[in-house]
Structure 1
């Protein structure tokens, strides 16, 4: 048993709560293609979850990155939201946390308007949404909101949880496999969020 006040679960967004790969790839290819650059899904897939400017900088000269990011963000709100679906167990896990009296926060590298639009589209209602943060930078809102655990698919998410001093939970729905997540310091690794629904005690504070 646990005190509901000590169940505050943070989540990454892309490839943790939602499968957004098709929309991300389509918008990246459009932003790059308009600048004469071709990128395959295989090249883009490992980058999902990292900051947009960093990802674009893999393919474009520095003086084109900001404009490409503006194009990507505008295109994303028009096209990619509708292409996004919840991952297995995402809605059920969020509902279980709320049903137990706990708090849900989403901390993502995606910009806040896209985070909010994506969550509304897939029917997930967190208590707190924070955007534009990646890796260790995510630890600040986790500490601020009293998170007891953080769930993510990227090694940067695990690093954020460790930096915040909370339980680090890796899910293998993204580019990183179980070994990579454990090497980064994950306390727990699951294949999908369905596995966590009956395990809320492991996401709460001791």
Structure 2
């Protein structure tokens, strides 16, 4: 059996919110910019630069903040990040059934890989710096027929890639809103993914 499932990272496989709040607090103290990490983690999904743009900052300042955030990320955020319920088993369910699991995320690629390594999540490939419809490029390159995410942008990426959009209600978007946005499947969290995957594979030709 050969198939590929794509997974989003933040609030799909991992919960990095505590570390992100701490890092925003650190950057706010360094720069004097009133960065609000607690508000940011309620709307995770879009690229980091989008969040900094909310403060009316110029492009050079945004670039400097992104660079500083990435430089401090593995020291501050990585140790405070946990796998979400069912995440490891969901990825293992794909590989145990002969498939490939790829992670496609808006997060900076090296930081995404560091999270997976630390938590023991074994992905065949990791592609970072892609958001919403942009994720379709990587999903198509890896022949992903399913994409699992928590955000409306993940549904868009799946649609553009002609992949099945599986949504988990572990991020900022409610299950009802994920359904309304056109998700093909909505799960409360990834604990139900292996059973769903078995049903999907039985119903499709591979």
TM-score (ref. length: structure 1) = 0.92
The offset of 1:28, in angstroms, is: 2.3
Give the aligned partner of residue 141 of structure 2.
Answer: 144
**Match for 1:191 among 184, 188, 191?**
188
- Check the 8 A contact 2:136/2:160 in 1, yes or no: yes
**Match for 1:169 among 166, 170, 177?**
166
The offset of 1:77, in angstroms, is: 1.3
**Match for 1:77 among 74, 78, 83?**
74
- Check the 8 A contact 1:47/1:55 in 2, yes or no: no
Q: Residue 129 and residue 75 in structure 1: after superposition, are their counterparts in 2 closer, same or farther (change >3 A)?
A: same
The offset of 1:14, in angstroms, is: 0.5
| Deviates most, 69-78 or 39-48 | 39-48
**Match for 1:156 among 153, 158, 161?**
153
- Check the 8 A contact 2:20/2:37 in 1, yes or no: no
* Dislocated runs of 4+, deviation >4 Å: 202-206
Corresponding residue SS for 1:141: helix
**Match for 1:19 among 15, 21, 25?**
15
Offset from partner CA, 1:100-145 (integer Å, 9 cap, x none)? 1111000000111101000011110100110000000000111111
1:95 aligns with 2:98: no
Give the aligned partner of residue 36 of structure 1.
Answer: 32
Distance 2:9 2:56 in 1: 25
**Match for 2:103 among 88, 101, 106?**
106
Distance 1:170 1:56 in 2: 26
The offset of 1:95, in angstroms, is: 1.0
Q: Residue 59 and residue 30 in structure 1: after superposition, are their counterparts in 2 closer, same or farther (change >3 A)?
A: farther
Corresponding residue SS for 1:104: strand
Distance 1:40 1:190 in 2: 30
Give the aligned partner of residue 115 of structure 1.
Answer: 112
TM-score (ref. length: structure 2) = 0.92
Distance 1:166 1:68 in 2: 34
Corresponding residue SS for 1:76: helix
* Structure 2 unaligned residues grouped into runs of 5+: none
Offset from partner CA, 1:130-184 (integer Å, 9 cap, x none)? 0000000000111111101000011100110011111101111111111221222
